[in-house]
Amino acid sequence: MGRLARADRLAVLLLVVLALATLVVPMVSSQDPLAIGDVLALRLLPPFSTDAQGHFHLLGTDRFGRDLFVRMMLAGRISLAVGVLGSLFAGLVGVVAGAIAAWSRGVVDWALMAVADALLALPRLVLLLVCAALWAPGLGTVVVVLIATGWMGIARLVRAELLGVRAQPYVESAEALGASSVRVLARHALPNALGPAIVATTLGVGNAILLESGLSFLGLGIQPPRPSWGNMIAGGRDLIVVAPWVALAPGLALVATVLACTLIGDSLRDRLAGETAETLRDRV
Amino acid sequence: MLRRLAGALLLLWLVLTITFALIRLAPGDPATFLVPPSATAADAARIRAELGLDRSLLVQYAHWGKRLLRGDLGESFSLRQPVGTALRDALPISIGLGGASLLLTFLIGVPIGLWQAVRRGRPVDRALTVATTLVYAAPSFWLALALVAVFTYGAAVWGFPASMRLPAFGVRAPGLELHGLPAVLDVIRHALLPVTILAAVGAAGIARFSRSSIADALGHDSVRTARAKGASPARVYFRHVLATILPALVVLFALSLPGLVAGSIFVEAVFAWPGMGRLMVNAIAARDYPLVMGAATIYAALVLFANLAGDLALPLVDPRRRT
């Protein structure tokens, strides 16, 4: 148990350091992650090299001579924000939908669950691709699409938990004491049914970051010149034979972030939810 | 069982209707992708009429539904061939890629998880935990690019022998007319990198799952009793531990079935394999409505089939589920 806790602390520390770095590094760096300077002199410098002006490039430079480390950090702001917002709001929509379904029963319950099941009947990647066509690619579209394709599982979880909680004596006594249906739900039932939803949402952060990177990699997500980890990897793809670091460097931050999210989600699951249905992440 | 089947068919209809609505709501006009740059608005209108896009959405929906019931998926706008033919070309590629990697996923993942559970807390376990968690956290397209870099950039820098230089792109060598065994070997050489990536990502997930569930199973009373009765380790692992985790593995396997086709979208993109992933991405980009609907039908049918298969298989491996 002690080792597990240490791994957790490391994961949280890693996430905090990464998040702070994405905020601070682009601000204090002498390198402009977006401006294009002397392309011929600066482009495709390998990692750990120093250019003619004496600037050190930890991860090297891309085809336009921009510093990859600073760009990776700037991209991290967007990738982290998209991942957190996407899964958080997907979780919220899921909780609301699940609560409405469980508490209204009847036709509303049936219709909500039918839509959730129908959307779950397409692999999430496929649904993501179809939804991404609805709006012009960009930041807002990615977040909306992550929410639209991510709420169903959580809605099912919350509904199932609520139906279990509903039969508990404390809910019945609250109802017997004359508490309104909404009050019983919000005050008594929901707090006891949120555990699995919180775990699923936390595990969803890493997944959402991966999905964002995948969409951006395919050119359907965050659009250049705004950097995201996915579109930076895509941008270095045709250089993989001559300058592999351009595509591979941004993935380091991506892997570190998803790793930390997975570890935190895992231990939350062990603590809060006990044995829940095992799910594997989408294969991005 | 009939009820479940009817429910699945109802869901299939519902998800296809939602897909129909979504792709039609998406802005963009398929005609603009089909006319030459010099075409006039009248030309575009004529093409729209030819494709039946000038009629109301409800009429088009009814038309699509009627054809689907007859098993006709229609004609692709962008490929100018029946959707069925396009799917028949793309499906075997994705299924071959997905099938090979799915088998490897379980054949490699479960033994790794077992090994880790047996050696719990030892250096082997910790090293493998780090490795599987890292691979599990990495996107497949990034891992794929890393492997490509090793076999292109790395091969040149570190001077790999010729036999170690694996082809990084495509299904078969271009410009060669190969038949029989050489043709098969050529495809296998090309499949080596994509299958490795897919199997590694899959096996990492299965190993993580197997390790924790086998570790749980090792703590069960049944295992302690079996050991106390002097059962051999092999008997303990196969008869007691494996029997405990088999239901969960079967469910996982069933849930992985759609990944046969959908799991390789990104790997197909990196290695330029003309499978279902590329078909779907291109069809959506070109607003090729019949092709999108055809591919969605395959995907949804696979997911629903996998769910049914999981439900049917569970009683076979878990006596408690028998009624």
Reading chain B (323 residues) residue by residue, the pLDDT tens digits are 788 888 889 889 999 999 999 888 888 888 877 877 787 888 888 888 888 888 888 888 998 889 888 888 888 888 888 999 999 988 988 888 888 999 999 999 999 998 998 888 889 998 998 899 899 889 989 999 998 888 877 777 777 776 666 776 777 766 667 677 888 888 888 888 889 999 999 899 899 888 888 888 888 888 888 888 888 888 888 788 888 888 888 888 887 887 777 778 888 888 888 889 889 888 988 888 999 999 999 889 988 888 888 888 888 877 777 76
Task: Name the one residue in this structure whose structure tokens are 């006709």.
Answer: B72
Residues of A in contact with B256 (CB under 8 A): 280
Non-local (6+) Cβ contacts of B40 within 8 A are none
Tell if the CB–CB gap between B266 and A214 is shorter than 8 Å.
yes
* B67, B74 contact by CB (below 8 A): yes
A199 pLDDT above the threshold of 60: yes
Select from B144, B151, B172 the least CA-distant residue to B274: B172
DSSP strand pairing (A49-50 vs A56-57): antiparallel
Cα separation, A201 vs B137, in Å, equals 16
The answer to whether the CB of A86 falls within 8 A of the CB of B225 is no
Which of B265, B278, B298, B305 to mutate to test binding with chain A, by most A CBs within 10 Å of its CB?
B265
CB contact under 8 A, A130 and B284: yes
**What does the pLDDT read at residue A50?**
79
Q: How many CB pairs under 8 A join A and B?
A: 156
Give the rounded percent of residues in chain A with a pLDDT score beyond 90: 24
Nearest to B140 among A129, A237, A284 (CB): A284
- Cross-chain residue pair B138–A126, CB shorter than 8 Å: no
Given pLDDT bands bounded at 50, 70 and 90, which one contains residue A213? very high
DSSP-assigned beta bridge partners for residue A185? none
Query: pLDDT digit string (tens) for B74-105?
Result: 888 888 889 999 999 889 888 888 889 999 99
| Sign (positive or negative) of CA dihedral B200, B203, B205, B211 | negative
Asked whether the beta carbons of A231 and A105 are under 8 A apart, the reply is no
* Residue A81 CB neighbour total at 10 angstroms: 17
Give the whole-angstrom CA distance, residue A284 versus residue A211.
6
Q: Which of A119, A83, A110, A103 is nearest to A211 (CA)?
A: A83
Distance, in angstroms, between A284 CA and closest chain B CA? 5
Per-residue confidence at A276, pLDDT binned at 50, 70, 90? very low
Q: What share of chain A is helix, strand, coil (3-state, %, to 5)?
A: 70, 0, 25
A118–B262 CB contact, under 8 Å? no
- Contacts B262 to A, Cβ<8 Å: 123, 125-126, 283
Q: Does B246 touch chain A (CB under 8 A)?
A: no
Q: What is the CA radius of gyration of chain A?
A: 22
Cα(A234)–Cα(A239) distance, integer angstroms: 10
Is the CB of residue B141 less than 8 Å away from at least one CB of chain A?
Answer: yes
DSSP state of B170: S
Q: What is the pLDDT of residues A25-64, one digit of tens each?
A: 877 777 777 777 777 777 777 887 777 777 777 778 887 7
Q: Do B266 and A284 touch (CB under 8 A)?
A: yes
Residues of chain B numbered 2-41 and touching chain A (CB < 8 Å): 11-12, 14-15, 18-19, 22-23, 25-28
Tell whether B205 lies on the interface with A, counting CB pairs under 8 A: yes
Least Cα separation, residue B23 to chain A (angstroms) = 7
Q: Residue B162: what pLDDT? A: 66
Name which of B198, B266, B299 is nearest A123 (Cβ-Cβ): B299
Supply the DSSP symbol for A45.
P
Question: SS3 breakdown of chain B: % helix, strand, coil, rounded to 5?
Answer: 75, 0, 20
Q: Are B120 and B212 in contact (CB under 8 A)?
A: no
Does pLDDT of A1 surpass 60?
Answer: no
Question: What is the model's pLDDT at position A275?
Answer: 46
Nearest to A262 among B15, B136, B280 (CB): B136
pLDDT at A146: 93
**Mean pLDDT rounded to a whole number for chain A:** 84
Out of A241, A243, A255, the one facing B138 most closely (by C-beta) is A255
Q: What is the pLDDT of residue A277?
A: 42
When CB atoms are compared, the residue of A117, A233, A240 closest to B11 is A117
Matching residue, tokens 């022998």: B161
In contact, A235 and A223? CB cutoff 8 Å: no
Nearest CA in chain A to B278: A218
Whole-angstrom distance, CA of residue B276 vs CA of residue B95? 9
**Burial (CB count <10 Å: 0-12, 13-18, 19+), residue B68:** middle
Looking at per-residue pLDDT, the higher value among A257 and B36 belongs to A257
Closest-CA residue of chain A to B130? A259
Partner-chain residue, chosen from B139, B153, B281, that has the shortest CB–CB distance to A129: B281
Is there a contact between B171 and B274 (Cβ–Cβ < 8 Å)? yes
* Chain A residues close to B28, C-beta within 8 Å: 133
CB nearest A284 (choices: B15, B139, B252): B139
Between A179 and B143, residue with greater pLDDT: B143
Greater pLDDT, A240 or B283: B283
- Which of B141, B208, B304 to probe the A interface (max A CBs under 10 A)? B141
Q: Please report the pLDDT score of residue B316 as a whole number.
A: 80
Question: Residue B41's pLDDT is what?
Answer: 81
pLDDT tens sequence across A216-237: 998 888 888 888 999 999 988 8
CB atoms A233 and B142 under 8 Å:
yes
Does B137 sit within 8 Å of A258, measured CB to CB?
Answer: yes
| pLDDT at residue A70, as a whole number | 86
